Amino acid sequence: MTCLLHWNRKTVKHNPALPLTKRTDFMLISELLGPENIHLDVQTTSKKRLLEIISEQLARNSSDDSAREIFESMCARERLGSTGLGKGVAIPHGRVSGNRSIQASFIRLKYPLPFDSTDGEPVDLLFAMTVPEDSTEDHLKLLAHIAELFSNPELLKGLREASDSSTLLQLLNDNRPGSPPLNRTVGRPGTRP
């Protein structure tokens, strides 16, 4: 099966080997996450420890980055302002020098944790990622895409109820924000997935 991506009416063949800054398409969640990058019922007692756990998970998926570099980058970003969006969702992220591609992880906590979110509510769903240090506009587009995705209350309910990582990944792949328009087809352009 060939996965074709449509972005701004331009069709390009999926090539996850290219770093985001060199790509002409927009990444789908399925390009960023696999079942091995989804962690359910994670338990921790502090935001700092959670960022350490996330950093360790992301470092395992990268030959470029150390857990320490990732942790320091995420802490630096959190010092600028919390990445807690509200409604129990956070998108901790950071830029890492030497990083050539995006690394991502999805974490569902067993018990919600205070995260200094905009609404003051504790967080239980986190989409964490690192991007290359020189990634700017594409990085911001990706963050906006993910934030919009997680503004869907039905999706959040499904993510909290999903029994396993495959089900959770399917929910993420099946839900796309309404804007910007992003369509995924399998096979030929014009076919329905």
Q: Is the pLDDT at 86 greater than 70, yes or no?
A: yes
Instruction: For residue 107, give the amino acid letter.
Output: I
| Segment 139-160, tens digit of pLDDT | 788 888 899 999 999 999 999 9
17: in domain = no
Q: Which of 72, 78, 25 is nearest to 47 (CA)?
A: 78
Residue 67, domain CATH: 3.40.930.10
97: in domain = yes
CA 130/CA 95 separation, integer angstroms: 6
What single-letter DSSP state applies at residue 151? T
**Helix pair angle (67-80, 47-60), 10° resolution:** 140
| Segment 93-115, tens digit of pLDDT | 998 887 778 889 999 999 999 99
49: in domain = yes
135: in domain = yes
Residue 77's pLDDT is 94
Residue 176's pLDDT is 66
Catalytic entry in 6, 93, 139, 145: 93
**Structural domain count of the chain:** 1
What is the extent of the structural domain holding 49? 32-171
Q: Is 93 a catalytic residue?
A: yes
Distance from the Cα of residue 137 to its chain's centroid = 16
Q: Which residues contact 62 (CB under 8 A, 6 or more apart)?
A: 99, 101, 103, 130
Q: Is the pLDDT at 65 greater than 50, yes or no?
A: yes
| Segment 110-132, tens digit of pLDDT | 999 999 999 999 999 999 998 88
Q: What's the token pair of residue 59?
A: 């470092």
- Give percent of the chain with pLDDT exceeding 90: 51
